[in-house]
Amino acid sequence: MSHVAPLIIVFPLVGFLLVLVNGRSLSNRLVGAIATGVVGLSFVSSVVVFVLLLHDQSREVTVQLFTWISVDTLHVPAALLVDPLSITMCLFVTGISTLIHLYSTAYMDGEKDFRKFFLYLNLFVFSMLTLVLANNLVLTFVGWEGVGLCSYWLVSFYFDRDSAASAGKKAFIYNRIGDVGLLLAMFLLFLHTHTLTYLGIFSSTSLISPAIATLVVLALLLAATGKSAQIPLFNWLPDAMEGPTPVSALIHAATMVTAGVYLLVRMSPILALSSSGRMSIAIIGGVTAFVAATIATAQKDIKKVLAFSTVSQIGYMVLAVGVGAYGAAIFLMISHAFFKALLFLGSGSVIHSLGGEQDMRKMGGMAKWLPLTFPTFLIGWLTISGVPPFAGFWSKGDVLTNVFAHNKALWVLGVLTAILTAYYMTRLFILTFRGSERFREVTHQHDPHESPLVMTAPLVILAVLSVLGGLLDLPWAHGFSLTHFLSPTFGFVAPIPSQSTVLQTGLAAVDVAAVVIGLFAAFTIWRNTVESSTFERPFFEHVWRWDDAYDATLGRPLARAARVSNDVVEDRIIDAAVEGVGGSVRRSGEGIRKLQAGMVRQYALAMVLGVTVIVVYLVGRAR
């Protein structure tokens, strides 16, 4: 195991270095093949490690690589922690990454920066795997910032477009706000437990007081809101759609944005120490899920709908974490990775066939022209809406059942969100694939064409996974479920009041009813219209005026403060004061300036002598 596990992260790094060093001498085809191949190898290594772990008694293996930082009492090894949680993450991250790499080789064909794209993508996979496999918080932070950096590069991939460059910057900076939270959490934990390895921290939870635990949990929550696009830091994600669509599928739907949820689940033994911290997490998750869903109902850009949908779905995951349903959170994370990657790649196929058009008002009737994209997208739509028996029904149901057991108000919010989810996804589906063909203007009367096989094959695989994903964690399969496999990793889990089969069935019926309401509403409203309906509030379309509010309360005041600092504080106060304190500084300056005239060398000599004389004089006088 200790020989195979490092390979999971080494392969993508090798791919990155190979392309970095030989980039110019390799053909695009070869670059694509190398990049996809190394991620595929990483997936194979993950499978091998998974099998080895199943046969390992301890279910918790630490693999030491080398000493990274070691000063005084601070020891940060570069070491991996292979346990059920990390290997589960590795499996789905490498699996989906392989598919999306494959898809990208066709989607990005003909791009000027084709090589750079795969360079970034491989580095991203390396960072993401470092994040999940690290055995300590600092190494996780390496991956955490690494994925943020790659996201910055890939969002601003079309950097000559100002909107793309700004979106990349915004993504990075919002992430950095969260990173400050992660730093503070690390500092607090180190101060009180004197270690930063996960297992070390978890074995010294007795040293952490409840108040400190709450602070740590809130700091971790801040970190998670940045990375996972939750309130109050969620509004970078829609802008991030400026990046190429495979990037949106991989980074901004399936993997990176779930890192915040992973971090919270990973730190579950600390979460166990603070019920108010968990409550905050649950509220943030529930409210984000709802707010983002309302916004998704009013977007015109197909990728923006999916972006807010992602925010909303991650809100569900965070909500699940908040009520201690860590297994449900991971289950939803994985099934979401399947269906959201499918939806994004499917939308990419649509956009690709329409020469880059993303406005749903200029689509319609695509079902006829995209014989493979259409059925797979149909499955994605049904899955995310929560139609049984697809994966989304089971995973969302799992979350909502757990929420019901802990907090009825949040459960109601979750059900409302489920209605909205079914509604906005149906709207998207109808506007894109059904109705009249409105794209002729965009395509200059050409017929749209289906994407090549390397793009449609990943769609088919993801569709199959979306259909079957529910098998991972069926409610009655206790011994062989994902939650059971993961459970040794979780800290103390708040006991779930045992629910009768009748209650569970009832809750499932509510879920189905929610879906039906959402579907029905969308079909009624959007069957014959494309323009905004009464449901489509400008307030929702403009993201609850969130950006404007930040601009008014933070952006503009800070900009003004910067101008004042520059013009007034720096020039008129500090500089003037320092020169004033010097008193005769300016006058003596005039004197020296006269001395300087033309006699550079003499002046140097005078200076050296002057200093010496002062020294001698002071020494002599002081005696």
Partner 1 sequence: MHSSLWLSALIVLPLVGALVAMLVRKMPGASYIVAVGVGAIEVVLSLIVAVLYSSHVANAQGFDFYTRHVVSAPLGLAYDVALDGLSLLMVVLTALVLLLSLLGGRDKRREPAFVAWLLILTGLTMGSFVAHDVLEFFIFFELTLVPCYFIISGWGGAERARAALKFFLYTFTASAFLLIGILYMGFAYQHQHGTALTFAYGILSTTTMSHSTEVWLFIGFAIAFGVKAPIWPLHTWSPLTYAEAPTAGSIELSALLAKLGSYGLLRFAVGLLPLAQVSVRPYVLTLAVIGILYGSILACVSKDLKRFVAYSSLAQMSFITLGVMSGSTIGVTGAVLLMFNHGIITIGFFLIIGYLERRRSSIQIADFSGLQRPAPVLSAIFMVAMLASMGLPGLSGFVSEYLILIGTFTTHAWWAAVASLGVLASAVYLLWAYQRVFHGRAEGANAEISDASSAERWVLVPVVVLIVVLGVFPKPVLDRITPSVHNLVTQVATAGAAK
Residues that bind partner 1 (CB under 8 A): 66-74, 138, 141-142, 145-146, 149, 152, 156, 159-160, 162, 165-166, 169, 172-173, 176-177, 179-180, 183-184, 186-188, 190-191, 558, 561-563, 565-566, 569-570, 574-575, 577-578, 582, 585, 588-589, 592-593, 596, 600, 604, 607-608, 611, 614-616, 618-619, 622-623
* Minimum CB distance to partner 1, residue 251 (Å): 17
Helix extents (H) in 553-623: 556-564, 576-581, 585-596, 600-622
Q: Which is nearer to partner 1, 552 or 609 (CB)?
A: 609
Q: Taking phi first (over 0 means left), then psi (-120 to 50 degrees means alpha), and beta for anything else, what does residue 241 get?
A: alpha
Q: Which is nearer to partner 1, 513 or 569 (CB)?
A: 569
Q: Which is nearer to partner 1, 477 or 607 (CB)?
A: 607
Q: Which is nearer to partner 1, 156 or 258 (CB)?
A: 156
Rounded Cα gap, residues 164 and 257, in angstroms: 19
* Minimum CB distance to partner 1, residue 165 (Å): 4
> What tokens does 227 get?
């990375």
Q: Which is nearer to partner 1, 147 or 382 (CB)?
A: 147
* Minimum CB distance to partner 1, residue 582 (Å): 6
* Minimum CB distance to partner 1, residue 65 (Å): 11
* Minimum CB distance to partner 1, residue 551 (Å): 15
* Minimum CB distance to partner 1, residue 177 (Å): 6
The values of phi and psi at residue 247, to 5°, are: -65, -40
Show the beta-strand stretches assigned E in 13-128.
61-71, 74-82
* Minimum CB distance to partner 1, residue 137 (Å): 11
* Minimum CB distance to partner 1, residue 32 (Å): 20
Rounded Cα gap, residues 80 and 209, in angstroms: 28
**Residues with Cβ within 8 Å of residue 335, at least 6 apart in sequence:** 383, 391, 392, 394, 395, 466, 469, 470, 472
Element (H, E) at 267: none
State the burial class of residue 432 (Cβ atoms within 10 Å of its Cβ: 0-12, 13-18, 19+).
Answer: buried
* Minimum CB distance to partner 1, residue 333 (Å): 24
**Per-residue burial over 114-125, b = 16 or more CB atoms within 10 Å of its CB, e = otherwise:** bbbbbbbbbbbb
Q: Which is nearer to partner 1, 141 or 377 (CB)?
A: 141
Residues 58 and 27: beta-carbon distance below 8 Å: no
Q: Which is nearer to partner 1, 162 or 441 (CB)?
A: 162
**Residues with Cβ within 8 Å of residue 117, at least 6 apart in sequence:** 104, 108, 111, 154, 157, 244
Q: Which is nearer to partner 1, 66 or 476 (CB)?
A: 66
Q: Which is nearer to partner 1, 92 or 152 (CB)?
A: 152
Q: Which is nearer to partner 1, 139 or 372 (CB)?
A: 139
* Minimum CB distance to partner 1, residue 69 (Å): 6
Nearest residue to 185 (alpha-carbon basis) of 213, 155, 156, 143: 213
Rounded Cα gap, residues 433 and 422, in angstroms: 16
The values of phi and psi at residue 444, to 5°, are: 55, 50
Q: Which is nearer to partner 1, 4 or 183 (CB)?
A: 183
Residues 403 and 490: beta-carbon distance below 8 Å: no
Residues 177 and 168: beta-carbon distance below 8 Å: no
Q: Tell me how far the alpha carbon of residue 250 is from its chain's centroid.
A: 10
Q: How much helix, strand and coil, in percent to the nearest 5, is found in the chain? A: 75, 5, 20
* Minimum CB distance to partner 1, residue 217 (Å): 16
Query: Which residue is it, tokens 């009832």?
Result: 506
* Minimum CB distance to partner 1, residue 181 (Å): 9
Rounded Cα gap, residues 437 and 350, in angstroms: 13
Q: Which is nearer to partner 1, 53 or 182 (CB)?
A: 182
